[in-house]
Chains A and B, each alone.
Chain A
Amino acid sequence: MSRTEVLIIGGGVTGLGTARDLAMRGVNVILMTASDVCSGASGRNHGMLHSGARYAVRDPEAAIECVSESKVLKSIANFCVEDTGGLFVHLPQDDPGFPGMFRRACASCGVGIEQLSTREALDMESALAPWFDEVLAVPDAVIDPMSLGLANAYMADRCGADIRTHHQVEDIDLMNGIVRYRDLTNGEVGELRPEVTVNAAGAWTAEVAGMADLHLNVTTSRGTLVVFEGRLVDRLVNRMRMPGDGDIFVPGVGTTVLGTTSSPASSGNDDLPTGAEVSALVEEARAMMPGVVAHRPIRAFTGVRALTPGGLGRDASRNFTIVDHGADMSMAMLSVVGGKLTTYRLMAERISDRIASILGNGSSCRTHLELLNDDDGDEIPEAHRARFCWQYGPMASEVWSSCQDRGAEEICSCQGVLRGEVEHFVGLGAGGMGEIARRTRAGMGYCQGTGCLLRLSSIIGPGAMEAISRERERGLLPVTMGVQMRQSAMRDCLMRVYGVRP
C-alpha cells in the first residue's frame, strides 16, 4: 500500500491544473482519471477564453473572475491562446433594453468594451448579417483546450505529480482513509491512503461523491457544438442578448465552432450529439449569419458540464463551489463543482490553498507566475514550428524528435500531422483513436479520418480501423447533409473496400 498526500480524481483541466499547482508547492500528488485527460467537458467545448462579457449581466461574479483570469492565461499559456478579440452584435428582434444593461454590467465588472459602427463591424466580419443595430468589441480570445490540458499534465508531471490515466476509483472510505481503485489497462486493483482526496470529476462529480456515501447536489447539462470548415469569422462573435442556443461563433484553427445548446444531461456519458440539436443550432445561428447554412459542417460534439446546485442549464451560475466533506474523518475530501475553462487556474489555486492549509504546507501559489511553456521549438523547422508549438507547447521539441526520417511522412493531410507525432504518443501509451486525435489532431479535419484511416490504423494496431471509423461517425452522423453527406457516402464505400463493413 502506497502513501501519498493528495489524490485528485478527474483528469480535466481543473484536476490537471490542481495537480500542477500542488506539485509546484512540493506536495506529493497523484491524479487518477477513469479515461483519458480532457476527455470530458475540458476537451469538448468551444475553446473560448472569456473576457467576462458573456456572463456580465447574469453572473457578475463569474464575469469578474474571467476578467482577471483571461489576462493571466494570455500570459502563462500564450502558446495556445490566439488573442482574436470578440464582438457582441445586437439584432433588431432581440430585447432592445439588453445593450444598455450589457454595457453597464461590463463597466461594473471591468470588461473593456468599445463601440463600433455597423460599417466597421462588417468590414471586420463580412459573413455577418448586415442588419444588426449595435456592435461592441470585447477582449474575448480563443484558447485551445487540449493544448492547455496537455501542457498542465506535462508540467505537473515534470514537477513530480503522478498522472495516471485509465485508473478508475471504485470506493472511497473516508472513515478509514482508504481509496480503492482499478487500473483499467490491466484490471488490477489497488489502494491508496491519501491525506486529502479531491473530487474534480466534472460531470461525474456526484458519482464520485457517491463512492464516499456522500450526496452532492450537482446538475449536469449537455451542450452540443458544430464544427464548420474554414474560418467563417476572425473574432468570436456573440449575439448580444441573454445567452441562448446558437448564439456564438468561435474561430479555430482552420475551422469555426458554433455553440451551443443547453439541455439536462442524464449522466456524464450522455454525450452523443443529435441531428435535432445541430438543426436547432444552425437555424438559430442564421439570424446572425444567414450564409452559415451553405458552409460545410465537419462534425458535431457534445460536452457535459457540471453546474453548481441551485439553477438549471443557463440559469445556473458558471461560478464554482468547493465543498468540504471530510471534517472529522481520517481523510479530508474536497469536491469542486461548476466553473469553466477560463477560470480553471483560479479554481486550482483555491483548491490548492485549501489543501495546503490542511496539510500545513506554507508555500503559496505560483501558477499565475510561471509559464506553461518553456519550449520555443528552436530546433523545429519553420514549416512545422508554429503548429508544433501551438499543439504541444512544452512538449514541442520532444514530439519533433520523433519526426525524423520515416516519422516525417504526412499521416493526416487535412491537419498536416506527421507519422512521428502519432508514433510519439503511441509510444507514451496512448491507445485508440480518441487519444491520438486529442493529442495530435489527426483525423479531425474535414474528411474525418477517411483519408488517413489506413495509415493511422497501421500505427495504432489491429482493430483500429473499425474503432477509428466508429469513433468519427459519432460526430459525423448528426451533420450528414450537403457535402458531408457525400463525404459519408465516400467513406461508406471505402469501409466496404477495406472490409470493415459488409
Chain B
Amino acid sequence: MIRNSCLKCGRCMEVCPALVHDPGFNGPRALAVDRSRRPWGSELDTWSCTSCGACVEACPVCQPLTDAMRLMRQDLQDTGHLRMLSNLEAHGRSVSRGQWSMVNMEGTHLYFPGCMVAERMPETIGGLVTLTSGFGGLRVPDGWVCCGSPPHRIGKVDVADELAQTNRALLQGTVYTSCPGCAERLGEDGVDTRHVLELIYDHIDELDIQDTSIRVALHHPCHMMRGMGREVLDKAYAIINAVPGTEVVHMRDRDRCCGGGGGVMSARPEVALRMARERVDQAVAAGAELLLAPCPFCVMNLRRADRLPTMGLLEWLTSIIA
C-alpha cells in the first residue's frame, strides 16, 4: 500500500523533525517507501523516528508512514530498548520502579496514570486528586499495567497486545489519563479515553486560580494533537487562558516534535536531546519564562535540555490553585 502512491514530492522529508538532528537517519520516505521496495539488503536505521506523525500529516496522498516505520521495526532490535522490554516483563511498566505508592483515591472518575507519571512524576497524581476533588475525584484501577504504547511504537506489537489484554477488563467506561501516548494507544484498543485536562476544562470555572504574572509557551505534544485531536489542544489553551495574568507566547514551529516519543529517548538519547534543545531554544526565543507540556514524555525530554523551567500543564495548574 505504502509504495503504491508516493509522488516523491518531498514534503515528508521536509517536515521530519528527526532528519536534521540525526545524520544516520534516512527519513520517512527513504525508509518507508524507497528502501522497502528494494530487494537488496541495506541497513535500516529507523530508531530516530519519534512517531510524531508530521510526515503523515504533510503527505498529499495520506501515506501511513509511521505505521510503515513500525512494521519495519518489527524485525529490528535496538539495545536501548532491551531495558524497556525487561521492565515490562518484570513488573508491567515500561520504566523501572519509582516511588509510586497507591494514593488513597475513592473518586468517581477512572484514572489511568501510565508508567511515566506513576513511576517518575508521582506528585502529579496527588495534585490531580486535589484538583478534581471538587467534581468527583479520581480512582485508579487495581492491577493496571503499561498501556502498551512504548513497545507498540518500537514494533513489539505482540507485547503491546498482551498488555492491552490485561488492561481491557479494568478499563470500562470513560478513562482519563494525563499521557497522550496512553490515550492514543488505549483509544486504538477501543477504550473511551480522554485527557484528564478535558475533565478539568469542563470544571475550570469551579477552580480558584491564583493570579500569576508569567509568560508561558505551550508545547504541542504530537500524540495529543495528531493522535487525540486538536480540540484537546484547544482545551489546554483554554485552561491556560483561564489563569489570570498569564501571557501565552508561541514558538516559531508550533507543531514541532520535542523528540521524546517513539522510543527515541531510549534508543537514540543524543538525538532526542538535540531535538529537545531545538524546541526549548524556540521557547526561549519566543520570550517564554515557563514551558508547559501536557504530556509526561515531552516534559521528561524537554527538561533534559536544561535551559528553561519546564512543567506539566496540570502540575503547574496544581501549583497555582489557591
Contacts and interface: CB of A to CB of B under 8 A. Distances in A.
Interface in B6-23: 6-10
A451 B39 contact: no
Contacts of A68: none
Nearest to B61: A486
A386 B41 contact: yes
Contacts of A364: none
Given A416-B34, A450-B8, 16 more contacts: A229-B4, A230-B3, A295-B4, A296-B4, A296-B5, A383-B43, A386-B39, A386-B40, A413-B8, A413-B34, A415-B38, A416-B35, A445-B34, A446-B3, A483-B5, A486-B61
A472 interface: no
Interface in A402-416: 413-416
Interface string B145-183: 000000000000000000000000000000000000000
Nearest to B29: A413
B7 A382 contact: no
B42 A383 contact: yes
A382 B43 CA distance: 9
A469 B100 CA distance: 63
B30 interface: yes
Q: Does more than half of chain B's interface fall in helix, strand or loop, or is it mixed?
A: loop
B37 A254 contact: yes
Contacts of A254: 37-39
Contact of B6 (A384, A390, A446): A446
A295 to B, nearest CB: 7
B40 A230 contact: no
B4 A490 contact: no
Contacts of A487: 7-8
Query: Which of B4, B41, B61 has the most chain A CB atoms inside 10 A of its CB?
Result: B4
Contact of B38 (A387, A451, A486, A490): A387
B46 to A, nearest CB: 15
A230 B41 contact: no
A447 interface: yes
Given A230-B3, A486-B61, A416 B8 contact: no
23 contacts: A229-B4, A230-B37, A253-B38, A254-B37, A254-B38, A295-B4, A383-B40, A386-B39, A413-B29, A413-B34, A414-B8, A414-B37, A416-B34, A416-B42, A446-B6, A447-B8, A450-B7, A451-B10, A483-B7, A486-B61, A487-B7, A487-B8, A490-B7
Contacts of B40: 383-384, 386-387, 390, 416
Interface in B93-126: none
Contacts of A415: 38
Interface of B: 3-10, 29-30, 34-35, 37-43, 61
Interface in A238-266: 253-254
B172 to A, nearest CB: 39
A253 B40 CA distance: 9
A446 B7 CA distance: 8
B7 to A, nearest CB: 5
Nearest to A494: B9
A436 B284 CA distance: 51
Query: Which of B7, B30, B43 has the most chain A CB atoms inside 10 A of its CB?
Result: B7
Given A446-B3, A446-B6, A483-B4, A413 B38 contact: no
A414 B5 contact: no
B34 A490 contact: no
A360 B311 CA distance: 93
Interface of A: 229-230, 253-254, 295-296, 382-384, 386-387, 390, 413-416, 445-447, 450-451, 483, 486-487, 490
A334 to B, nearest CB: 40
A251 to B, nearest CB: 10
A486 B34 contact: no
Query: Which of A229, A384, A413 has the most chain B CB atoms inside 10 A of its CB?
Result: A413
B4 A416 contact: no
A383 B24 CA distance: 14
Contact of B8 (A229, A296, A451): A451
Contacts of A483: 4-5, 7, 61
Nearest to A487: B7
A419 to B, nearest CB: 16
B42 A230 contact: no
Contacts of A451: 8, 10
Contacts of B38: 253-254, 387, 415-416
A414 B37 CA distance: 8
A490 B42 contact: no
B30 A413 contact: yes
Query: Which of B35, B39, B43, B61 has the most chain A CB atoms inside 10 A of its CB?
Result: B39
Nearest to A415: B38
Which 10 A-B residue pairings sit nearest by Cβ, starting from the closest? A447-B8, A451-B8, A383-B42, A386-B40, A387-B40, A254-B37, A490-B7, A483-B5, A296-B4, A413-B34
A386 B39 CA distance: 9
A230 B7 contact: no
A230 B39 contact: no
A31 B74 CA distance: 52
B8 A490 contact: yes
A382 B35 CA distance: 15
Nearest to A251: B39
Query: Which of B5, B30, B43 has the most chain A CB atoms inside 10 A of its CB?
Result: B5
Contacts of A253: 38-39
A446 B40 CA distance: 17
Nearest to A254: B37
A35 B38 CA distance: 30
Given A383-B42, A387-B40, A414 B7 contact: no
Contacts of B35: 416
A322 to B, nearest CB: 38
Contacts of B29: 413
Contact of A447 (B7, B39, B61): B7
B42 A229 contact: no
B39 to A, nearest CB: 6
B63 to A, nearest CB: 11
Contact of A382 (B5, B37, B41): B41
B8 to A, nearest CB: 4
A445 B33 CA distance: 11
Nearest to A449: B8
Contacts of A229: 3-4, 37
Contacts of B34: 413-414, 416, 445
A76 to B, nearest CB: 22
B68 to A, nearest CB: 14
A230 B4 contact: yes
A111 B8 CA distance: 44
Contacts of A384: 40, 42
Nearest to B9: A490
